A and B are shown apart, each in its own frame.
Chain A
Amino acid sequence: MSEKRIKDWFMSQSLDHPKRTIIITLLISILMGSGLQFFKIEDDMMKMIPEDIDTRRVWEEVKEEFGNTEMIFVAFGERGTSAYNREAMAELWDFTEVVEASPLIEEVISLSNMNRMESVDDFLEVDDLVPSRDLNSNEIVSIKNYLDGNPDIKKRVLGKHGDFFNVVVKPQEGSNDQAVVKLLHEYADTHLQEYEVHFGGPPYLTGLVGDLIRVDMVVLIRIGLLGMVLILLWSLRSFIGVGMIVAVIVLSLGSMMGAMGWIYNLTKSDNFVFTIMNTSMPIILLTIANSDGVHFLTKFFKKLRQTKDKRKAIEMSMHSLMLPIFLTSITTSAAFLSLLFAPIEVMAGYGYTIAIGIMWAWILSTTLLPSLIMLTNWKMDSKAISHPGLLERMVDNIGKEILKAPRLVLTAGLIVVLIGAYGLSALNVEVNIKTFFDEEHAIPQSLSFLDDEMVGSMDYTFRIEGDLKDPKTLKKMVRLQEYMEEHPKISISISIADIIKQMHRTIMDDDPVFETIPDERDKVNNLFTMYSMSGDPDDFSSLVNYDYTVGLVTVMSKNMSTQAAEIYVGEVKKFIEQEINGEMEITTTGMLPVLGDMVDMVISSSFRSIFASIIVVSLIAGFFFRRIGWGLLAVIPLSSAVILNFGFMGLFNIDLNHVTAVLSSVIIGVGVDFAIHYISQYRRSVKTVKDPDILSREVIDEVGYPIVLDALSNMAFAALLFSQFLPVRHMGGLMVFAMISTSVGTLTLLASVMELLRRNKKIYNRLIRGN
């Protein structure tokens, strides 16, 4: 089908069957939007790691063998008051019991349900450390003495100053983290209302952040829409026109989110779960859908002003804008689809979903919007139609100035880009969720508390495959733990070797000299058998598998920056290669190695998507403009904007992470629209303008105002500045900056480059006139 026939078909739908077109587009939007019922919000960093990466693979293996190893930490107490008191111990007992009874919870570990293993008068005793809810003073003293004699156990259940209890909660495998967080908050409100309570741990953050994302998304959409409506009202001066654009935006938004829900429901892929990263998605679509509408409506007003004929004005607008709007939609979608090349797989879900939203917004802008315009009675004497606005006049004047000195404008632009390029070297990657919030926010506050008073909330898990009854293996585990604990941020490590050491000491009359791994395998066997006669074998189930062939060493760390984690993980790997590997195979997982993995993935995600999108966008533009030269020209302003953007992130210490990594796609996807509108108009004007000297002037006359208006209404990105997540806020600021840099880049760099090219007769004839 030829381009003309497609255009005619679309025009016919809106001009001849506007009501039918409106009903059909509404019904399809409702159908897509109905997927919202399956919409899932969650932010689990582990799920961002591809399944073939070791950290993720080992995590899955560990889950399969040992059940859920992710822990929530609940610390409560009264600062300065010893936790060894009747009331606090009774509250701990009640809290432990009530949480443990929930079907959402697999296990609770607290002082209340710990075992005491000790040797008394030649008597090995494995018994409850806390015998009952209501304790007498002798019992409390006995508990205190036992913990004082076993500092490693004490560290797990009591704070550094002895005034806070630490309760470790393991949610059931597959339980909803948000439901678990809600449950813990409810229980804490009921049982621990008189205490200071802190929460932490990956499932807690995942559960809590899910709720925060939901709130954030609603707030941001409202602010974004409001800001956009105000800007549009100021510039378009037409309530009904703005209402039509808002209708396109709301329908696109609902359809995109619904589509995400549908895809998640059909594929069950975690790539289609709404995460912190996706928080920016509605605002981005909102601005893209808005751009399509703005270009169409301003063109319509201009043509209506000239022709005074509604049908003719729609025809002319559709005729001149269908290709550029389609092209901008295709290139923007392509830029987002470049996220498929990102190793962080959820970014692919982001790309797919927003591409669907963009294409649907395009269909609505070329069907629903002209149909609504067709059914509306426009007053020819209204200000919106009869007079150009202040902004339109301003842009015309600036355009004239730019074209007077294209060389100077180009040089100035290049200098700014070079300054940006200098900042690239200072770019820092930080994916630690603690840095995603203001310091005063409850989440970093609680995490800091867990770091300062408890064992921290970051884990590093070692899966050890070997003969776990062999003293050599066990001694190497001990060596690994000793090495890990040398690091100042590491607070504690736990493994089956610790239990064996403790049992060995106990059986040897509690002599600390024997807190070691026995030298003979038979002795290790005897210790296990003895424990099975007096303790619950499930006590080991989180440390060693049924066959004693796979064990876990779990290391708890205080918060580390991503860079520090990456360095530390590298050091540990080196240590294992040099000193540990041999009789056993060690693989690792947990938050610390995940942070390390994320660094490489964030960087490669950013750069792969930049290169892929630039190449794809220039190829698409080159294809539709039938000259690859046009494609290359189209990416000039946005390549500069990308360099500027990431360079300024480095200069202003804004971290690159999985949230801000999508920025390149946004800049390229949205920024290319301006260049495409400019080039489309240039190619059209070349055929109608006789004097080449006024060609650029004519182009700016036609598209300068819509580009600036488009960029201005895209200031709705600023809504992201109201997010409670710092990276999303950074994104908001950077996108505002990107809109300015790409639109200004188009009207300065691209305009001056094209003007300079035009002055070269050879290029003018070959590229521009297409001879």
Chain B
Amino acid sequence: MKKRIILLLIISSAFGQTGIEIAKMVDAKPSPKDMSNTTRMVLTNAKGKSRTNVMVSKSLDGNKKQIIWFLEPKDDKGVAFLKIEHSDKDDEMRMWLPAFKKIRRISSKKKGDSFMGSDLSYEDLSNRDLDENEYIRLDDETINGVDCFVLEITPKKEAKSSYIKHTSWIDKNSLMAVKEKSYDKSGALKKKKEFSHREMKGYFVMKRVFVEDVQKNRTTEVAFEDVQVDMGIQASLFQEKNLKRLPRN
């Protein structure tokens, strides 16, 4: 209830706000301490061929710490991935490769690189730093009956973004993005994203993401199932040794 009141207070102060003020509100909205889900990711290429990945994900501190165990496809079963974001240095990313019985650190320098061969890049999955972007509020719009703020977000040079700008539609009620268009360095539309979310324990959490790379004519649909929040996941889970086997709960 407390979280709901905070959200309402934030939203009620939003009318007449500037772009950066809305961005700050989005950033400040309550989010779960931890989250667990089964992620089903369907990648479809330009010829309509699809590949499905299923994985179990657990995260802490708004995804700053995340551990993923791959379940499907069969070829990937047993592979696991650990990510720990740092604000003052490069993120840490480690992979457990069961066939080699080795853990390998992998690079996170290229923000524009695709995450698991999908149309989502690491940049798409990361939280935007308010100081590294400029926010301009455009005219409000209604998308599928949802009243939205519309922001034009321009990454600054220090953001080292692979995009020149984004246009983002934010649900005034939940302060969650419902739609976003991202433009590449040449100014051409690169990706169209659609988001849907659900309310859970007073939080709004992501239910589904659909991304279309309009230049490559590919899509990625990510559905989050069995979502649980504030389960009391311990920071000690996010260690290399836990990559080697999937926890029972």
> A-side interface residues toward B, CB under 8 Å?
101, 122-128, 469, 507-508, 518, 520, 522-523, 525-530, 532-538, 546-547
Contact = CB atoms under 8 A, between A and B. Distances in A.
Contacts of B102: 507
Contacts of A469: 75
A533 B95 CA distance: 9
Contacts of B76: 525, 529
Given A124-B107, A128-B110, A525 B75 contact: yes
Contacts of A101: 186
B95 A530 contact: yes
Given A101-B186, A523-B100, A525-B75, A546 B95 contact: no
A124 B104 contact: yes
Nearest to B70: A529
Which of A507, A508, A529, A530 is the most central at the interface, judged by chain B CB atoms within 10 Å of its CB? A529
A530 B116 CA distance: 9
A546 B186 contact: no
Contacts of A507: 97, 100, 102, 104
A113 to B, nearest CB: 12
Contacts of B49: 546-547
Interface residues of B, number: 29
A526 B99 CA distance: 7
27 contacts: A122-B105, A123-B105, A123-B106, A123-B107, A124-B106, A125-B107, A126-B106, A127-B109, A127-B110, A522-B99, A525-B75, A525-B76, A525-B99, A526-B79, A526-B99, A527-B97, A529-B97, A530-B79, A530-B95, A530-B97, A530-B106, A532-B117, A533-B81, A534-B106, A535-B113, A537-B114, A537-B117
A526 B110 contact: no
B141 to A, nearest CB: 30
Given A125-B107, A523-B100, A546 B51 contact: yes
A127 B107 contact: yes
Contacts of B110: 126-128
Interface string B163-176: 00000000000000
Given A523-B99, A525-B76, A525-B99, A536 B114 contact: yes
Contacts of B116: 532-533
Contacts of B79: 526, 529-530
Contacts of A534: 93, 106-107, 113
A402 B75 CA distance: 88
B30 interface: no
A526 B116 CA distance: 12
Given A507-B102, A523-B99, A526-B98, 6 more contacts: A101-B186, A522-B99, A529-B75, A529-B76, A534-B107, A546-B51
- Per DSSP, chain B at the interface is loop
Nearest to B186: A101
A101 B116 CA distance: 26
Contacts of A124: 104-107
B99 A126 contact: no
A143 to B, nearest CB: 16
B37 interface: no
Contacts of B105: 122-124
B114 to A, nearest CB: 6
A527 B75 CA distance: 11
B75 A533 contact: no
Nearest to B113: A536
B47 interface: yes
B66 to A, nearest CB: 13
A123 to B, nearest CB: 4
B154 interface: no
Contact of A530 (B47, B75, B104, B109): B104
B113 A546 contact: no
A164 to B, nearest CB: 28
Nearest to B121: A536
A478 to B, nearest CB: 19
Among A101, A126, A527, A534, residue most surrounded by chain B Cβ atoms (within 10 Å): A534
Interface in B38-78: 45, 47, 49, 51, 70, 75-76
Contacts of B100: 507-508, 523, 526
A523 B104 CA distance: 14
Interface string B140-184: 000000000000000000000000000000000000000000000
Indicate the member of A123, A523, A546 with the most B CB atoms within 10 Å.
A546
Interface string B85-115: 0000000010101111010111101100111
Given A124-B104, A469-B75, A526-B98, A546 B45 contact: yes
Contacts of B45: 546
Contacts of A520: 99
A159 to B, nearest CB: 28
Nearest to B50: A546
A721 to B, nearest CB: 49
Given A123-B107, A124-B104, A127-B107, A522 B113 contact: no
A363 B114 CA distance: 67
A547 B99 CA distance: 21
B104 A125 contact: no
Contacts of A122: 104-105
B201 to A, nearest CB: 31
A564 B201 CA distance: 75
Contact of B107 (A126, A526, A529): A126
Nearest to A522: B99
Nearest to A128: B110
Which residue among B95, B107, B115 has the maximum number of chain A CB atoms within 10 Å of its CB? B107
A585 B89 CA distance: 49
Q: Please provide the 6 A-B residue pairs with the shortest distance between their CB atoms, ordered closest to farther.
A: A522-B99, A537-B117, A125-B107, A534-B106, A532-B117, A525-B75
A123 B93 CA distance: 10
Contacts of A125: 106-107, 109
A508 B114 CA distance: 24
A541 to B, nearest CB: 9
A530 B113 CA distance: 13
Interface centre among B47, B51, B104, B116 (most CB of A within 10 A): B104
A22 to B, nearest CB: 57
Contacts of B186: 101
A533 B98 contact: no
Contacts of B104: 122-124, 507, 530
Contacts of B93: 533-534
A239 to B, nearest CB: 62
A546 B47 CA distance: 10
A159 B222 CA distance: 45
A550 to B, nearest CB: 12
A469 B76 CA distance: 12
Contacts of B97: 507, 526-527, 529-530
A662 to B, nearest CB: 41
Contacts of A526: 79, 97-100
B142 to A, nearest CB: 35
Contacts of A535: 113
Contacts of A525: 75-76, 99
A508 B51 CA distance: 29
Contacts of A128: 109-110
A520 B98 CA distance: 12
A522 B105 CA distance: 19
Contacts of A518: 99
A354 to B, nearest CB: 42
Contacts of B75: 469, 522, 525, 528-529
Nearest to B99: A522
Contacts of B107: 123-127, 534
Contacts of A527: 97
A88 B110 CA distance: 24
A124 B109 CA distance: 12
A726 B240 CA distance: 69
A522 B101 CA distance: 11
Contacts of B106: 123-126, 530, 533-534
A124 B102 CA distance: 12
